[in-house]
Chain A
Amino acid sequence: GAGVSQSPRYKVAKRGQDVALRCDPISGHVSLFWYQQALGQGPEFLTYFQNEAQLDKSGLPSDRFFAERPEGSVSTLKIQRTQQEDSAVYLCASSLSGQPQHFGDGTRLSIL
């Protein structure tokens, strides 16, 4: 497609379950970012990939959060043993190197 695609759009999980969120960036975009947006807040940076290399994971809130981009295209954000505070919208963005980021519509995660 023409834009960044994220799936699922909505995810409901019980506390303690593991979840996986997928991001399909714009074709050819080497840079890929994940952000977390809590209700009523601005997005906060989680992690950054350049191709398949994860160059910055300073924003990941705990070791329960893990992201990968094994072939330098699709990325998956995994959250293990989910907690209620993980409820948020998770946004993926991609860009050509040094260019503005294009965002997907996000995955709204609700932890019950």
Chain B
Amino acid sequence: AQSVTQLDSQVPVFEEAPVELRCNYSSSVSVYLFWYVQYPNQGLQLLLKYLSGSTLVKGINGFEAEFNKSQTSFHLRKPSVHISDTAEYFCAVSDRRSGGAQKLVFGQGTRLTINP
């Protein structure tokens, strides 16, 4: 079984400042890693994913994340945030062994609020 811990429930930052949203996971098997963003009253949109290869993954909207196997972390970063980045962010994992049946296990979410 897998579990995901997002260490901050809320992160307020000023516009154009950098931000890091933290994610740690626990799993007895190898996993794929994902970050999703959820805007109010909408579904989840994939920001980026780590499947294999380079541990630094770049996604949409200027976000990137780094997979750290030894620390079982997959923190999300953006060097300069915009008001439009205000949303809920979810870290998720899935079992590599499940092939097409990649059900996602999500963290509790981090609410990112950008202040002008």
What is the interface of chain A, defined by CB distance below 8 A to chain B?
A: 4, 6, 30-31, 33, 35, 40-45, 48, 50, 55-56, 59, 91, 93, 95, 97-98, 100-106
* CB-contact partner of B43 in A4, A40, A55, under 8 A: A4
A44/B106 contact (C-beta < 8 A), A30-B100, A31-B100, A98-B100 known: yes
Decide yes or no: A105 and B42 within 8 Å by CB, A42-B108, A42-B109, A43-B90 being known contacts: yes
Q: Please name all residues of chain B whose beta carbon is closer than 8 Å to the beta carbon of A43 when the two chains form the complex.
A: 44, 90, 104, 106
A56 and B44 CA atoms in complex are apart in Å by 21
Partner of A101, one of B90, B99, B102, B105: B102
CA distance A33 to B43 in the complex (A): 13
Which residues on B sit within 8 Å (CB–CB) of A50? 100-101
Q: How many residues of B contact A (CB 8 A)?
A: 23
Closest-by-CB residue of A relative to B111 is: A40
Q: Which residues of A lie under 8 Å from residue B41 when comparing CB positions?
A: 105
| Residues of chain A contacted by B100 (CB below 8 angstroms) | 30-31, 50, 95, 97-98
Are A105 and B43 closer than 8 Å at their CB atoms? Answer: yes
Docked complex Cα distance between A98 and B103 (Å) = 10
Within 8 Å CB of B49, what residues of A?
A: 100
Q: Shortest 8 CB-CB distances between A and B: which pairs?
A: A42-B106, A103-B43, A97-B100, A103-B44, A45-B103, A105-B43, A98-B100, A104-B43
